[in-house]
Amino acid sequence: MPSVEQALSGVVIFVTAARAGSFTLAADRLGITKSAVGKSIAKLEDRLGCKVFHRSTRRLALTVDGEAYFASCSLAVDEILAAEAFLTSNQKTPGGRLRIDLPAAYGRSVVLPVLLDILAAYPELKLTVTFSDSVVDLIEEGIDLSIRFGTLKDSSGLVARRLAVQKQIICAAPSYIEKYGHPKSLEELQQHRCIVNYRRGQRVSWTVLDETGVLTRITPPGTHEVGDGDAIIAMAAAGQGICQMPGSLIRDHLNAGRLVPVLENYSQGDVAIHAVWPQTRHLQPKVRRVVDELVARAEKGDLS
C-alpha cells in the first residue's frame, strides 16, 4: 500500500501526462525524468489493476478506464494545486518555473525587458519562454501565461486582463514609395505590393477605416506572406512592400525615416493587447507577480 504522498504524486503525474499526451512533455513540465514518469504510471496501473494509457511510438492515449480515472482526478488535482498556490501566495516571493508564450516581435522588443527586470528582483523565478505569432492552446500546451493581440476568440477556460491598446500603422519604405507611388485609397492599395502576416495557412487581414469612416477589415494583396513580425518590418524597410504593424514595433523605423506612414486617413485601426492565463480558483503567485508588473508598465505607457 503506497503512502498518501506517493499516491498523490502518482495522480499528479498521471493527470499531467494525460494533458500533455506525452511522457516526455510531462517530465519537462514536472521537472523530473521521463523514466520517473513511466515508473510512476506503471505503479499506478499496478495499484489500480488496469491500464490507463495506450502506448505507441507515436502517441499516448487514454484507455476507457484511463478516461474515467482522468475525469475523476483532474479537477481534484487542480483544486489541490490552486489551494496550495493561494495559501503560499502571501508567504513567499514568486519562484518556480513560469511558462510564458509571447508574440515574436512584440515579445522580444517590449515584453522581454519587463521579464528581465522581474528576474532581477526574483531570482528564484525560472522562465520557459516561447515566441509565436500563432494562437496556442494554453491548457493543452501547459502554458501559464500568454500575451495576445486582438480579439480573444478562444477564451473558454481562460482569464484575460487588458494591458494596452496599440495603433496599427500602414507604412512603407521611402524607396518603395519612390518606385511604386503612394496609394491614395484602399482601392488603390489593391494594386500595390503588400507584406502580410501569415498564420495557420491564412493571411491575416488588416483593420482600417473604410471610405465611409467605419472600422472594417480588409485583405490586402499578399505579395509576400510572412509569419514573423520582425521579418515583415525588415522586408518593408528594404522596400519590398507595404505593411501594417503595431506602432511600438516600427516607432524607431519611423523616427529614423526608414519607414513612412501611408494611407494615414484609413490607418486608424487599434488592436488590444491582453495577458491571458488558464482559469483557476486562485492565481499562482508567479503569474500574479508578472501580470501585476505588466499592468503597472502598461499604465506608464511602456507597453504601447
Domain count within the chain: 3
In a domain, 304, yes or no: no
Element (H, E) at 289: helix 285-299
Q: Are residues 133 and 198 in the same domain?
A: no
Q: Are residues 64 and 188 in the same domain?
A: no
In a domain, 136, yes or no: yes
In a domain, 126, yes or no: yes
In a domain, 191, yes or no: yes
Return the CATH number at 55.
1.10.10.10
Q: Are residues 161 and 276 in the same domain?
A: yes
In a domain, 80, yes or no: yes
In a domain, 282, yes or no: yes
Return the CATH number at 103.
3.40.190.10
Q: Domain of 37?
A: 4-88
pLDDT, one tens digit per residue, over 34-74 is: 888 989 999 989 988 999 998 876 678 899 998 888 888 88
pLDDT 10s per residue in the chain (304 long)? 556 566 677 888 898 888 888 888 888 888 888 888 989 999 989 988 999 998 876 678 899 998 888 888 887 777 777 666 666 555 556 778 889 999 888 888 889 998 999 899 888 888 899 988 777 778 778 888 999 887 766 666 788 888 888 888 999 999 999 999 999 988 899 999 999 988 777 888 888 877 777 778 888 888 899 988 889 999 999 999 999 998 888 989 999 999 999 988 887 667 788 898 887 656 677 888 888 888 988 888 888 7
Q: Are residues 76 and 122 in the same domain?
A: no
Q: Are residues 83 and 112 in the same domain?
A: no
Q: Are residues 133 and 74 in the same domain?
A: no
In a domain, 130, yes or no: yes
